[in-house]
Amino acid sequence: MDRQTLRDWVHHYNAEGIGGLSNRRSPGRPAQLTPEQLAAFKALVENGPDLARDGVVRWRCSDLQARLQTDFDVRYHERSVGKLLAKLAFRKLTARPFHPEQDVAAQEAHKKTSPP
């Protein structure tokens, strides 16, 4: 043990008693997005991409990473974008493809109609 560690412990003990000697959780790095920016990002993800504006039909982490850079001037790693989406309660779900010329009435007529 070095002198500085012992000194820190003494100061913690004098200030808070025996509870001051317990390990403290580090506050970590502050958030890069403000709550307003986070709400705007969540709305962006919920509304989905626009093919004409964004050039994609579904969001990927790399696409969202680029939008964060252009809209908020914040740089995130792709993995961190995934963690941010998980924090906002988004899941990795993809809808099944839907052909634009699909005929729903023809599909219903084609289904088997035998009794169970």
In whole angstroms, what is the distance from residue 92 CA to residue 59 CA? Answer: 10
Q: How many CB atoms lie within 10 A of CB 49?
A: 18
CA distances from 17 to 25, 38, 67, 109 (A): 18, 39, 49, 77
CA distances from 100 to 59, 97, 103, 104, 115 (A): 20, 10, 9, 11, 32
pLDDT of 4: 94
Output the pTM of the full model.
0.63
pLDDT tens string 100-113: 788 888 888 888 77
